[in-house]
């Protein structure tokens, strides 16, 4: 049964996502209210976000902590989206008779965007939600230390099935029965790409497209793959999300006409980047 509505009337709490014990009680409107300060900030480009992230770490905020806040925000948003779908009886919040029965499918690239997805998988499982966390990469392990550490932590997490999908064929097999998924989280690529998507990421994006066509809601991490966070330019294929959770400040690319088209409802979650790290 969906949790009670704790939306815009919820009091503001300054805690960051991983420290906010009430975060998983909020619906989508409640999360937007909780993160109102971040959502009201001036938009920034992908390069500015990368710079702020790096400066924050030089100031002593660990990348692991930033990832924990980001992934927790994604998990809370995913739970809220599932609850909204169940309450309305429909993916994309339109009246149908579809109800989710399967696990949350988290498609993770090899970088830190995927690391955010691994954290989200662990946090969702901790709240009793079954998860299939998929490393979509030809490499056997994620390519950044923080992402690799969170991939390893899933090995002992209850309710989480870890899957490695190094080639397109693995994703095609995984997609059988995709319509039974409660939700798909796109944690494949966190910034734009130049040119065509490469395998196995391309097939993972096509799997997201198939899932949405089957009525499964889609949540994107930072930006839908592959919508450029700065320009809003889209690759082909591109994920179209119902909700996008981006971090620290709004992103210029998600405010363009094309960006808005694929991002759906955008939430901006604070992740602990201090103000002094966000100055040019």
3-state secondary structure of 176: coil
What count of Cα atoms within 13 Å lies in the side-chain half-sphere of residue 35? Answer: 31
Q: From 147, 125, 68, 113, select the one nearest 244 (Cα to Cα).
A: 113
Domains of the chain: 25-55+72-274 (3.40.50.10260)
User: What pTM does this model have?
Assistant: 0.91
Contact assessment for residue 208 and residue 201, using Cβ atoms and an 8 Å cutoff: no
Tell me 225's DSSP state: T
Q: Tell me the pLDDT of the chain (280 aa) as tens digits.
A: 344 444 444 344 468 999 999 999 999 999 999 999 999 999 999 999 999 999 999 999 999 999 999 999 999 999 999 999 888 764 444 444 445 568 999 999 999 999 999 999 999 999 999 999 999 999 999 999 999 999 999 999 999 999 999 999 999 999 999 999 999 999 999 876 767 899 999 999 999 999 999 999 999 999 999 999 999 999 989 999 999 999 999 999 999 999 999 999 999 999 999 999 987 6
């Amino acid at each position: 049964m969906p949790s009670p509505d704790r939306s815009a009337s919820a009091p503001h709490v300054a805690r960051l996502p991983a420290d906010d014990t009430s975060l998983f009680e909020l619906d989508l409107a409640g999360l937007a209210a909780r993160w109102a300060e971040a959502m009201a900030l001036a938009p920034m480009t992908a390069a500015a976000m990368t710079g702020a992230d790096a400066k924050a770490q030089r100031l002593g905020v660990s990348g692991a902590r930033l990832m924990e806040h980001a992934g927790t925000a994604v998990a809370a948003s995913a739970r809220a989206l599932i609850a909204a779908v169940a309450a309305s009886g429909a993916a994309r919040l339109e009246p149908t008779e579809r109800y989710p029965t399967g696990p949350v499918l988290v498609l993770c690239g090899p970088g830190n965007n995927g690391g955010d997805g691994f954290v989200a998988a662990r946090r969702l499982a901790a709240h009793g939600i079954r998860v299939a966390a998929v490393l979509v990469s030809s490499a056997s392990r994620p390519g950044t230390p923080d992402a690799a550490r969170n991939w390893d932590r899933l090995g002992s997490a209850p309710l989480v099935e870890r899957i490695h999908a190094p080639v397109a064929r693995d994703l095609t097999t995984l997609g059988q029965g995709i319509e039974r998924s409660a939700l798909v989280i796109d944690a494949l690529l966190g910034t734009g790409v130049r040119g065509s998507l490469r395998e196995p990421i391309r097939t993972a994006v096509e799997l997201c497209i198939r899932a949405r066509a089957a009525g499964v809601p889609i949540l994107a991490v930072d930006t839908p793959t592959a919508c450029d966070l700065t320009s809003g330019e889209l690759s082909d294929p591109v994920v179209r999300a119902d909700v996008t959770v981006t971090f620290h400040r709004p992103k210029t690319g998600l405010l363009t006409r094309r960006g808005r088209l694929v991002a759906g409802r955008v939430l901006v979650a604070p992740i602990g980047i201090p103000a002094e790290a966000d100055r040019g």
